[in-house]
Amino acid sequence: MKAISIRQPWAWMILNGKDVENRDWATRFRGRVLIHASKGMTYEEWQDAWEFAQGSGLSPKAVNAGLTSKNIARGGIVGSVEIVDCVTKSDSRWFVGRYGFLLRDPEPLPFIPFKGQLGFFDVPDHLLKVSP
C-alpha cells in the first residue's frame, strides 16, 4: 500500500480532522494512503503547528488525549486517509500551500515502526496485518 510521510503533529491532526495536506508538488494519486509520521520534529515545529491550529478544536482534543511533543508517535505508520483530489485553491482553513491534497475518512491505526521516504512510497502489506 502507498504511504506518505508527514511531520508531527500534522499527521495526528489529519487523523483527527485536518482535511488538507499541503505540498509543493501535485499528484494524480487518488485513493487510500497510509499516513507515516516522520521521525524528525523540533519543539518549535510542534509549537508552530498548534499555534496555526488555534480555533480548529484539535488542541483540546490533543490535551484530553494527553498528547505532548515527547510522547506523540513518530517514525512509523499511524493511520490512513483517502486522497480525493489535488487542488490549487480551497476554502478549507488548512489550505496554505501551492497544492492541497483533499482528504477524507481518516482511520487511525496501531503504530507500526517504519522508515519513511520522500513522496509516496510502498509499505509491504504483511506489515499491516493485525493479529487477532
Domain map (residue ranges) of the chain = 2-123
In the predicted model, what is the mean pLDDT of residues 98-127?
91
Average pLDDT score over the chain: 91
pLDDT at 130: 59
- Four-point Cα dihedral 74, 71, 78, 89, nearest 10: -80
Among candidate residues 115, 111, 16, the one with its CA nearest the CA of residue 57:
16
2-123: CATH number: 2.30.130.30
- Under the banding of pLDDT at 50, 70 and 90, the label for residue 33 is very high
CA–CA separation, 127 and 93 (whole Å): 34
CA–CA separation, 5 and 37 (whole Å): 6
Buried b / exposed e over 71-83, threshold 16 CB at 10 Å, is ebbbbbbbbbbeb
pLDDT > 60? residue 32 = yes
Report residue 49 CA to chain centroid gap. 12
pLDDT at 95: 96
Provide, rounded to the nearest whole percent, the portion of the chain with pLDDT above 70: 98
Q: How many helices (H) does the chain have, and how many strands (E)?
A: 3, 6
pTM score of the predicted model: 0.89
- Under the banding of pLDDT at 50, 70 and 90, the label for residue 132 is very low
